[in-house]
């Protein structure tokens, strides 16, 4: 099966110690591509004659590894494969401690080799001893001590006693049970008989255990069993010893199999690698193989459960619903989480203690107080249900996900009254991203696991696993390997027509049947840009449809108040009316137009590709985002803006809702205006969950920076977007001489307007980019020479469309963007 190779070395360099894994196990995996290794065993040899014995048993040689000075202490590995009903791999290893090594090799060229610096120090012999006791012994099935005389037996007894005395409750290896510990096989050579060795061993062990644990307790702390055997000189006697060794391995495997501690080779390699890291960094703490087997998602799951289980528990209004609904659902979700394809499955009790017990104690603490139930009772109920479900899954043909789905479906009547946009009720550890037609919502991971997939990236749900409502709803999910493409749309009142014209021209440049919204992953808009974003994504309008609606809305939005036009007062009558109504134009007419155009559809969790967000600002001038997503990443506590998201899906923000309800389109379009140096508004602020919102352009007229932050929340593994297109609503070519012109009020107004200048915001962003990033960022817009149109100058819209078309046709900007956008559609 291939030559033996060096496995582990303890190396020294400049006074520092390193544990070096020479990658023998990884190379062995490559030699066994067709061998389904279900069981892995390890026999560890210790003693002066262990090298010769190992060679004799396994008939292999140890070629020294090139590139470093072969000296020890270190670990060398022999391997062979045995077939006994099931495929089994047996590893044999022994330490060579003749000399202390000096590092002279270079492992950088071999990616299977790993060098771990020790964060703790000690004499080299102590480090080797600790490696034997804490790293290798727990993974071993048999530890074979070689003895030639009674002096060796005395030394072995002393070693075992010292070892046992060093083990306390805090340092005991947590994942190895006493009943499944390795077998100690003391191999007696020469004239030393097994009976004599056993008697002397017991006597010496008793002497060393006078002031401490009994000899039996010492042995049980380390070994499951201890045997003495003589290695004869004849081939028949030697074969008899070999058979005894093989039987010892089988017996340990049987005990470990019953306790779910028998690893496949893949899991053995994976967990042993984590044990090496733990040994070098946290030797004072017990190693937890259960945590190590799940290292990539263990903490994420724990944090998720800590956040979402308390949220789910709020729906358990009575003690009966807590015990007979909430706890079974949580226990089933934990069991489903505990099973990971290809990873080792440990005993339910050990798994619950390692992964979920502390989490459940913290999550149930508040509900125990409010329900007047002892916390211990709730945790005991959880353990009972967890054990029961684990046993049912293990004893059935169902996979954990199917079992969990069936359990959730058994509570269909309860689910019909429970909805949430902040907790995925299937996994209970993530925020939902996609809404089902029944208003239940799921996270992206659950959609991928539960939906059928006939077309790449298209996932179809046929029913709700909670309330059992049937439907056919398809979701287009972003492929993991695809880059992130972002579109942002500035605010600008009627100048939003410029953005629509740019999008229409870009759509023609692309020359593909795909709607332009489907070429982006995230679309963020402010004010007019927010209305466009909602039209494209929430209502799935084409650019042409969006343009028609936008022109109609602009006409309706800037209608004066019915009683504002008093002839005797002239234009002043409109200003006076605005003081009483808190808006310059007739908000009621605008609301009617918005309602007709956008309807009352909830944008959260829509099926399309693009995620959409619109900016708004509270009356206290704090920025908010209204989104149709939650995101899997975390936003910093002081990120500078907040997200509006109700707990219940029934109160979720709609594109537009009539009467007193909240709406995204209305909130993003309550634009302010300046008059007499006091802030007034084109339209009234809109109430949403006890907060009054107005136009997002007050803080983020160009939402490009916000979009970048949100993309990291949505796709935290993507460091930079493939493409960001910030579409502007025109910018004024300024004259520096204007800075001092006019009085204080004029300068103040200009300063305030510049703070909302999308072009200046873009320049600041672009200046912060690295040279190799700038080609991914684009800003199509048009310049205004002279006076720029006001936000409410509806009569200028036709001219702005013509100016946009003429300017863009004379520029190569859209051609470059189209090429970048088309290339970003391809991924591996």
Catalytic sites, residue numbers: 527, 695
Burial of 373 (0-12, 13-18, 19+ CB in 10 A): middle
Beta carbons of 19 and 159 less than 8 angstroms apart: no
- Sequence-separated (6 or more) residues with CB below 8 Å from residue 319: 371, 373
Q: Kindly calculate the radius of gyration of the chain based on its CA atoms and give it in whole angstroms.
A: 36
Q: Is 603 exposed, middle or buried (0-12, 13-18, 19+ CB in 10 A)?
A: buried
Distance CA 271, CA 139 (A): 10
SS3 sequence, 153-198?
Answer: HHHHHHHHHHHHHHCCCCCCCCCCCHHHCCEEEEEECCCCCHHHHH
Per the CB < 8 A criterion, the answer to whether 6 and 76 are in contact is yes
CB atoms < 10 A from the CB of 554, how many? 23
Whole-Å CA distances, 680 to 405, 562, 584, 619, 750 = 54, 19, 8, 11, 16
Q: Cβ(496)–Cβ(696) under 8 Å? A: no
Distance (Å, whole) CA 535 – CA 612:
10
Which residues, 6 or more positions from 827, have their beta carbon under 8 angstroms from its beta carbon?
479, 481, 482, 483
| Crossing angle of helices 496-510 and 797-809, rounded to 10° | 40
DSSP collapsed to 3 states, 108-162: CCCCCCEEEECCCCCCHHHHHHHHHHHHHHHHCCEEEEEECCHHHHHHHHHHHHH
Listed in sequence order, the residues at least 6 apart from 101 whose beta carbon sits closer than 8 Å to its beta carbon are 9, 10, 11, 12, 68, 69, 71, 72, 73, 74
Distances in Å between the alpha carbon of 379 and those of 135, 304, 307, 328, 374?
Answer: 33, 18, 18, 12, 9
Per the structure block, which two tokens stand in for 354? 């390692």
């Amino acid at each position: 099966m291939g030559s033996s190779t060096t496995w582990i070395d303890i190396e020294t360099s400049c006074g520092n110690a390193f544990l070096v894994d020479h990658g023998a196990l990884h190379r062995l995996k490559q030699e066994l591509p067709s061998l389904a290794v279900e069981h892995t065993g390890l026999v560890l040899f210790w003693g002066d004659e262990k090298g010769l014995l190992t060679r004799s048993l396994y008939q292999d040689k140890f070629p020294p590894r090139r590139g470093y000075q072969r000296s020890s202490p270190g670990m060398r590995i022999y391997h062979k494969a045995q077939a006994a009903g099931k495929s089994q791999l047996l590893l044999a290893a022994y330490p060579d401690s003749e000399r202390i090594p000096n590092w002279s090799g270079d492992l950088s060229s071999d990616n299977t080799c790993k060098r771990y610096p020790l964060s703790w120090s000690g004499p080299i012999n102590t480090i080797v001893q600790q490696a034997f006791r804490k790293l290798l012994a727990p993974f071993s099935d048999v530890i074979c001590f070689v003895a030639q005389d009674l002096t060796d037996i005395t030394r072995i007894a002393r070693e075992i006693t010292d070892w046992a005395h060093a083990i306390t409750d805090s340092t005991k290896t947590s994942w190895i049970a006493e009943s499944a510990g390795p077998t100690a096989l003391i191999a007696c050579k020469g004239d030393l008989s097994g009976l004599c060795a056993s008697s002397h061993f017991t006597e010496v062990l008793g002497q060393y255990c006078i002031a401490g644990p009994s000899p039996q307790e010492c042995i049980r702390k380390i070994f499951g069993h201890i045997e003495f055997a003589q290695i004869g000189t004849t081939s028949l006697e030697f074969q008899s010893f070999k058979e005894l060794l093989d039987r010892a391995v089988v017996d340990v495997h049987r005990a470990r199999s019953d306790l779910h501690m028998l690893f496949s080779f893949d899991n053995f390699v994976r967990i042993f690698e984590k044990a090496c890291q733990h040994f070098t960094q946290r030797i004072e703490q017990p190693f937890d193989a259960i945590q190590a087997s799940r290292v990539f998602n263990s903490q994420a799951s724990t944090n998720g459960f800590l956040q979402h289980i308390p949220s789910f528990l709020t729906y358990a209004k009575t003690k009966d619903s807590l015990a007979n609904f909430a706890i079974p659902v949580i226990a089933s979700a934990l069991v489903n989480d505990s099973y990971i394809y290809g990873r080792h499955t440990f005993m339910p009790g050990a798994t619950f203690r390692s992964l979920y017990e502390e989490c459940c104690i913290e999550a149930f603490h508040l509900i125990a107080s409010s329900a007047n139930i002892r916390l211990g009772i709730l945790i005991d109920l959880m353990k009972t249900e967890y054990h029961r479900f684990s046993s049912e899954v293990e004893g059935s043909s169902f996979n954990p996900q199917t079992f969990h789905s069936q359990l959730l479906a058994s509570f269909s009547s309860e689910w019909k009254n429970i909805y949430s946009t902040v907790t995925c009720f299937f996994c209970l550890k993530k925020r939902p991203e996609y809404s089902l037609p029944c208003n239940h919502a799921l996270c992206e991971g659950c959609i991928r696991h539960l939906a059928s997939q006939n077309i790449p990236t298209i996932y179809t749900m046929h029913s709700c696993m909670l309330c059992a409502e049937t439907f056919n709803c398809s979701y287009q999910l972003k492929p993991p390997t695809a880059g992130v493409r972002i579109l942002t749309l500035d605010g600008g009142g009627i100048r939003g027509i410029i953005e629509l014209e740019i999008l229409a021209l870009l759509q023609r440049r692309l020359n593909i049947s795909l709607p332009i919204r489907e070429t982006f992953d995230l679309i963020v808009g402010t004010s007019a840009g927010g209305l466009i974003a909602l039209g494209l994504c929430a209502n799935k309008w084409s650019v042409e449809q969006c343009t028609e609606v936008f022109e109609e809305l602009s006409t309706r939005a800037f209608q004066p108040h019915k009683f504002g036009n008093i002839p005797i007062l002239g234009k002043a009558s409109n200003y006076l009316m605005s003081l009483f109504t808190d808006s310059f134009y007739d908000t009621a007419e605008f609301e009617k137009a918005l309602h007709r155009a956008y309807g009352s559809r909830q944008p959260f969790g829509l099926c399309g590709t693009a995620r959409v967000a619109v900016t708004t600002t509270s009356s206290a001038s704090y920025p908010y985002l209204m989104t149709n997503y939650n995101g899997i990443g975390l936003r910093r506590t002081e990120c500078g803006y907040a997200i509006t998201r109700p707990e219940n899906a029934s109160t979720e923000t709609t594109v537009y809702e009539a009467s007193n309800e909240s709406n995204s389109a209305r909130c993003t379009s309550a634009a302010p205006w300046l008059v007499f140096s006091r802030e007034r508004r084109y339209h009234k602020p809109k109430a949403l969950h006890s907060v009054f919102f107005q136009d997002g352009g007050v803080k983020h007229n160009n939402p490009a920076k916000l979009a970048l932050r949100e993309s990291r929340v949505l796709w935290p593994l993507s460091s930079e977007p493939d493409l960001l297109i910030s579409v502007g609503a025109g910018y004024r070519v300024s004259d520096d001489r204007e800075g001092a012109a006019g009085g204080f009020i004029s300068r103040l107004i200009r300063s305030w307007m510049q703070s909302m200048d999308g072009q200046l915001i873009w320049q600041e962003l672009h200046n912060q980019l690295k040279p190799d990033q700038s080609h991914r960022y684009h800003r199509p817009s048009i310049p205004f020479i002279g006076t720029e149109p006001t936000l409410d100058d509806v009569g200028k819209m036709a001219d702005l469309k013509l100016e946009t078309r003429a300017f863009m046709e004379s520029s190569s900007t859209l051609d470059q963007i189209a090429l970048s956008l088309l290339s970003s559609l391809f991924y591996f």
